[in-house]
Structure 1
Amino acid sequence: MMKRRTFIGGAGSLAVLSAIPSFAKQAILNKQYTVQQVIDLILAEGKLSPIPNTVDTIKAGSAGNTVKGIVTTMFATTDVIEQANKLNANFIIAHEPTFYNHVDDKQLVINNPVVLQKLALLDKYGITVWRFHDYLHSFKPDFVGYGFLQKTNWLQYYKGGGFTFIKPAQTLQDTVTHLKKSLGITHVRVVGNLSQPCQRITIIPGAAGGKMQISAAVADKADVLIVGEVSEWETAEFMRDANAQGRKMALIILGHSLSEEPGMEYFATWLKPKLEGVPVTHIASGEPFKWV
């Protein structure tokens, strides 16, 4: 989920070892870390200030567990948990909720058998899950935006200052083809004329909501708005009427997970050299849907 107005923001330097808490510093020297020490190291290296009431909390397991291996992903799905166990990784860092609601309230549906079985699986394998949402978007540059632009090879065109950039013109169809190939997406949903030229691009990964998506498209006069997901009665209907009015505006819906996965993939490459001796692997959770 992406809720901030700046897509990737400005560049930021990394904290030096002296800024890392002493107990985490000792872990670095010993090449052995607890879950909490890894979390502290991430926040220190990213120069991230504490966020009040953040959803970035431990969802299962213990902060005191010694980390044998780390898996980064969008969703800590049952399949990702199984793969993590096969890799002997006992710490999953997930961008989105593990228990099907924003705050991971396990009692949202009382005695939910799917929640209980998932908790039992995590306990069986001794895996700790930490959500990494608010802090990921707080990096400068925002790792979700940066990872997306890097993966699509559009980083060269982005000049900062919002969601929008200008690149060499290509048709909407060619833009879709490029996104599918670079991001490994099988299907996308589109509103607009596939022959229209697209040069001014507005990108908002995740589920920012109709107000932000429509506001950005209008303010930035985008040829195409590329998003993760929409409420179908908001942005999609806006784009349908815009086209009926003769406005050359298009919408590409990638899917929530697929639009933000490059951010967690980039995060894994950022984290790996900072944790010598601890394997860090990115596992894409993919999308839950089958196209029939």
Structure 2
Amino acid sequence: MINETEIANNNDDFTRRRFIYKLSAAVGAGLIMTSPLMSSAASFIKVNGDYTVQQIIDLFIKDVPGGALKETVDTLKAGDPNMKVTGIVTTMFATIPVIRSAADLGFNFIIAHEPTFYNHTDDTQWLQDDDVYQYKEMLLKDNKIAIWRNHDYIHRMVPDGVTSGVLAQLEWQKYSDKTMPNVLTLQPSYLKEVIAHLKLKLNLEKVRYVGDPNQVIKHALFIPGAAGGRMQIGAISKYKPDLLIVGEISEWETAEYVRDARAKGDRVSLIVLGHIASEEAGSVFMLNWLKQKVPGIKVTHIPCGNSLSFM
């Protein structure tokens, strides 16, 4: 690290307005957010005795500002909401290996952050004759496993559960802005040092980047997942960071914008972690929530791993 006074305070108290919500308003109209923040406080209801799948879901929703959503992708993708929970697996994607591992453990409830059936809404009508879909559906039915997607709700936590989980894994909470947790004031470091830190803490083999490895990085934006090119570009345009760290991109959007910005003379770099790497720690956040709220239930986190390999 560059030997310069560290410019950050330990920020345990975050605002009730998420960065992405404020960013979408700042960048402009036309950006559709799947998880806007509601500011009302949530309460926790303790359930005595055994827990059902639906009771676990309801407990989490009670902890989310604004409560239940009328429109959400966070629905039950498989299983019976009234069945007794024997154990819970948290994961990013409920892949076939994750389902098999849950069955081997005797756990019958999987809480996944992303879709189970290859599209955002988990629409399966177009997959009815597909043998991969049929195999996966039968595997779930045979093992009586329920899957609930927790995407919109965990992003509505205050602060955002996914961002909190990733910043904790990176040990970057102290660099996070009080009002916008995704805005980071890092200890000044070279881009190559930031990349090395990300790879170490997130267990990554490689990352993609645009920029000069010897550029000094101080101000960074972290936007996990797949926020889209318009939001990512809008964030660069408004906040003028030294570095944008994202989950995934459309290569013809954000990467090309950063390339042109650098050619123009702007000091901005881009790091693309991959979608799973940028949000995996959110499932660990979910695991820790379960341990705290339902200590009588057996829980574990099973990483789904990256679907892509590197040569």
- The residue number in structure 2 matching 1:187 is 206
2:280 paired with 1:252: no
**Displacement of 1:6:** 5.2
Distance in 2 (CA, whole Å) between partners of 1:230 and 1:197 is: 23
Q: What is the aligned counterpart of 1:201 among 220, 225, 230? A: 220
Distance in 2 (CA, whole Å) between partners of 1:186 and 1:13 is: 40
Distance in 1 (CA, whole Å) between partners of 2:175 and 2:67 is: 30
Distance in 2 (CA, whole Å) between partners of 1:279 and 1:175 is: 36
Distance in 2 (CA, whole Å) between partners of 1:115 and 1:126 is: 16
Alignment of 1:14-163 (within 5 A): 15-16=43-44, 20=45, 25=46, 28-30=47-49, 32-162=50-180, 163=182
**Residue pair 2:85, 2:109 contacting (<8 A) in 1 also:** yes
Distance in 1 (CA, whole Å) between partners of 2:126 and 2:55 is: 30
Q: What is the aligned counterpart of 1:243 among 254, 259, 262? A: 262
Q: Which amino acid aligns with 2:208?
A: R
**Displacement of 1:10:** 12
**Displacement of 1:13:** 7.0
**Displacement of 1:108:** 2.6
Structure 1 vs Structure 2 CA RMSD = 2.2
2:282 paired with 1:263: yes
- The residue number in structure 1 matching 2:244 is 225
**Normalising to structure 1: TM-score of the pair?**
0.91
Structure 1 residues 98-126: Cα deviation after superposition (integer angstroms, max 9, x where no partner): 00000001123441111111000111111
SS at match of 2:147: strand
**Residue pair 2:90, 2:283 contacting (<8 A) in 1 also:** yes
What 5-or-longer segments of structure 1 have no aligned partner?
none
SS at match of 1:234: helix
Q: Which amino acid aligns with 2:240?
A: K
**Residue pair 1:15, 1:47 contacting (<8 A) in 2 also:** no
- Farther off after superposition, 213-222 or 44-53: 44-53
Structure 1 residues 117-166: Cα deviation after superposition (integer angstroms, max 9, x where no partner): 10001111110001101101111010011111111011011123333121
Distance in 1 (CA, whole Å) between partners of 2:261 and 2:98 is: 40
**Displacement of 1:11:** 11
**Residue pair 1:35, 1:65 contacting (<8 A) in 2 also:** yes
Q: Which amino acid aligns with 1:249?
A: V
Structure 1 residues 84-111: Cα deviation after superposition (integer angstroms, max 9, x where no partner): 1122110000010000000001123441
Q: Which amino acid aligns with 2:20?
A: R
SS at match of 1:49: coil
What 5-or-longer segments of structure 2 have no aligned partner?
1-17, 24-36
Structure 1 residues 56-75: Cα deviation after superposition (integer angstroms, max 9, x where no partner): 00001110111000001110
**Displacement of 1:29:** 2.0
Distance in 2 (CA, whole Å) between partners of 1:164 and 1:145 is: 11
- Farther off after superposition, 124-133 or 41-50: 41-50
Q: Which amino acid aligns with 1:261?
A: E
Distance in 1 (CA, whole Å) between partners of 2:19 and 2:91 is: 19
**Normalising to structure 2: TM-score of the pair?**
0.85
- The residue number in structure 1 matching 2:3 is none
2:253 paired with 1:234: yes
Structure 1 residues 29-65: Cα deviation after superposition (integer angstroms, max 9, x where no partner): 21x1110011111112334411122110000111011
